[in-house]
Structure 1
Amino acid sequence: MPDTVLPGVLSHPGGVQVSGQERTFLLVTAEDHSPITAVVVVLHGSSQTGKAVRAFSGHSFDHLAAAGQIAVVYPDGLKKRWNHNDAANNTSDDIAFMEALTDQLHARYGPVPLVMVGFSNGGQFLIRLVHEMPGRLHGVGIIGATLPWAGNSSFRDNYEPLPILLVHGTHDLVVPYRGEGWFRSLFGRRRGPSALETAQYFAARNGITTEPSSTVLPHRKESGRTSVTLRRFQQNGCPEVRLYTVAGGGHVVPNRHRKAIIFAGRTTQDISVADALRDFFPVLGS
């Protein structure tokens, strides 16, 4: 039946069997049943579900589906979490889930490009997927997540260069822009890599050795006390890495349809992650 939130799209609950357990997801497509040419998978944050991050992001990813030819998928983590690290308490085999999900999507739509986006814990899990699930992703978008501390990850690296888009707010109190555990570092404790260091890591992993360019995006009045700077790591023959730094931004998914609750911090209007994805990945249209 037609989606009640955004006209022009259809919602389809789905599932896939993993280790004898059904793992669930929500599939969103255009109401006009146009042929699917690409898929976007959106991974929710901790304590969320696929449905929750869909609303939290202002249904902005649904607009990709509404335009036609894009399927958007919102999977559900077990107990509202993703196993972003083998050493984590959550021992669910989420890698197997993502492999089974991508297999099902390709069986349904053919070998279309698949772009995956992750927010917070979903972004952390996506960092793991970049290293452990080669050959299945066209590119990724990481929102409000950074690399783990050195030596604090147990995932393996099946090396494959990929275009990477990162978005992070400087006033993110859940995953600080300066690195996981940054506040504790004020008291002599170690911190994790910052958002910039995370972008630099992926640039180096892609073989990029040149310095990034930097551009301040046009400011919208409704963005208030936020601004966005785009750093582009580019080199011929190497997949690009982009980092959007949201000065004054919180732990949110930037979009132009819904502001996050005040406790999450400010939601800028200078960038929409869905629009940034469409600009970065030509397979998503323009």
Structure 2
Amino acid sequence: MIKSFLLLVLISLFGCNNDDHSNNTSPVLIPYPEGLTTHYITVNSVSRKYLVYRPAGMTSVKAVVMVLHGGGGAGVGVSELGTHPLSVFRTLADQEKFLVVYPEGSSDIQGNPGWNDCRSDDFSGSQGDDITFLKQLNAQLVTELTINASKMFLTGTSNGALMTYSYAFQFPETIKAIAVSSGNLPEFPESGVCTTGSSIPLPILLTHGTSDPAMPANGGCVANLGGLCNRGKVISQSATINYWLQRNGLQNEMPVVSQFDVNVTDAGNVEKRVYNGANPLVYYVLHNAGHQVPSKTVFSNSSAASGIQNRDIEFAEEVWSFFKGLQ
């Protein structure tokens, strides 16, 4: 009888060890498989798409970075390695073990994915309920991953940058910080929160090209190659910066300024301005650069619509370093 008892104890111990090993390889805490996977969420009876990248070996959630594509782009496009600078977030996630989420915008009048941001005069843009989609997705991720707003970050480029602003106006308490590339605030925002903004400070990083043809640094019509100005108007980059300095209580701070030109073939250098404080602002002036996400590894061709790409900084690296420093 004693032998039988000992045998049962050994079987029980070995069984527990096997179960523990299984739990270590497939944590219940993160309900997304490793790699890039596609998911859907229903928002007001409409199925909305988003992609999640979970790096191999990630066993806990240190941060979630939600990445918004530009107008006419797509989550699957900007997440594909080597094809878009925003895909570099995946490479960084492999190194730093954070979760990357690529939501997909609603369709504009031409059927291309975009974002219904705060512009009231964007007559050809998306009309979907994108703000509810992002808010609902944010809340779902927080619940699923058992985290809070201090681990949620939002970034976007172009139309995605304006959507990032829109979210920061309406639900700033649900995220820790934002970062934008090629985005000015709308000159004629929609009524309501988009007009009044929010008094809640929010750390922010911005990059903008001084020769951006689609999002003019001095303000004006967006993507106005046809001369119709049907994509709305934005204020200048300097006015956008001043808004965020005021909101974050940094209007009296002197910036720490540095300049560098890593790639001498891209026709411009970078001026970095850092406004330190409890809610910092970091601004990269991309001299002579156009409407492109800056990157040192994923290059984009120049065109009349986009201008020249700055290749002195890696946008994703600068953004993640900024986000990580806030934790």
Q: Above 0.5 in TM-score?
A: yes
Pair 1:218-2:260 in alignment: yes
Scaled by the length of structure 1, the TM-score of the pair is 0.86
What do the CA deviations read for 1:88-133 (whole angstroms, capped 9, x no partner)?
5533111110111111211222225111001000111111111101
Q: Secondary structure at the match of 1:95?
A: helix
What do the CA deviations read for 1:204-249 (whole angstroms, capped 9, x no partner)?
01122214325233321355312110122234xx411111110011
Q: Give, in whole Å, the separation in 2 of the partners of 1:86 and 1:167.
A: 20
* 1:75-224 mapped onto 2 (5 Å cutoff): 75-79=103-107, 80-85=113-118, 87=120, 88-89=122-123, 90-112=126-148, 113-149=151-187, 151-156=188-193, 157-181=197-221, 192-221=234-263, 223-224=265-266
What do the CA deviations read for 1:63-87 (whole angstroms, capped 9, x no partner)?
2211142111111011111110274
Q: Give, in whole Å, the separation in 1 of the partners of 2:262 and 2:250.
A: 32
| Identity over aligned pairs, percent | 26
Q: Secondary structure at the match of 1:260?
A: coil
Q: Give, in whole Å, the separation in 2 of the partners of 1:278 and 1:152.
A: 29
What is the CA-CA distance between 1:21 and the residue it aligns to?
1.1
Q: 2:89 aligns with which of 61, 79, 92?
A: 61
Counterpart residue type for residue 82 of structure 1: W
Q: 2:75 aligns with which of 22, 35, 50?
A: 50
Q: Give, in whole Å, the separation in 1 of the partners of 2:153 and 2:117.
A: 18
Cα contact 1:223–1:267 (8 A) shared by 2: no
Q: Give, in whole Å, the separation in 2 of the partners of 1:19 and 1:183.
A: 31
What do the CA deviations read for 1:231-285 (whole angstroms, capped 9, x no partner)?
22234xx411111110011111112221112212222222111111122122688
Cα contact 1:177–1:195 (8 A) shared by 2: yes
Partner of 2:309: 267
Partner of 1:281: 323
Cα contact 1:210–1:234 (8 A) shared by 2: no
- In structure 2, the CA distance between the partners of 1:19 and 1:200, relative to structure 1 (3 Å rule), is same
Q: Secondary structure at the match of 1:253?
A: coil
Cα contact 1:11–1:29 (8 A) shared by 2: yes
Q: Secondary structure at the match of 1:281?
A: helix
Q: Unpaired runs of 5+ in structure 2?
A: 1-33, 108-112
Cα contact 1:46–1:82 (8 A) shared by 2: yes
Give the 4+ runs in structure 1 shifted more than 4 A: none
* 1:242-253 mapped onto 2 (5 Å cutoff): 242-253=282-293
What is the CA-CA distance between 1:52 and the residue it aligns to?
2.0
Partner of 2:59: 34
Q: Unpaired runs of 5+ in structure 1?
A: 1-8
- In structure 2, the CA distance between the partners of 1:182 and 1:48, relative to structure 1 (3 Å rule), is closer
Cα contact 1:119–1:145 (8 A) shared by 2: yes
Partner of 2:30: none
- Of 245-254 and 258-267, the range deviating more from structure 2: 258-267
Q: Give, in whole Å, the separation in 2 of the partners of 1:108 and 1:96.
A: 18
Scaled by the length of structure 2, the TM-score of the pair is 0.76
- Of 270-279 and 205-214, the range deviating more from structure 2: 205-214
- Of 276-285 and 201-210, the range deviating more from structure 2: 276-285
Partner of 2:8: none
Q: Give, in whole Å, the separation in 1 of the partners of 2:258 and 2:134.
A: 35
Q: Give, in whole Å, the separation in 1 of the partners of 2:117 and 2:263.
A: 37
Q: How large is the RMSD of aligned CA atoms in angstroms?
A: 2.6
Q: Give, in whole Å, the separation in 1 of the partners of 2:233 and 2:71.
A: 20
- Of 46-55 and 36-45, the range deviating more from structure 2: 46-55
Q: Give, in whole Å, the separation in 1 of the partners of 2:217 and 2:182.
A: 8
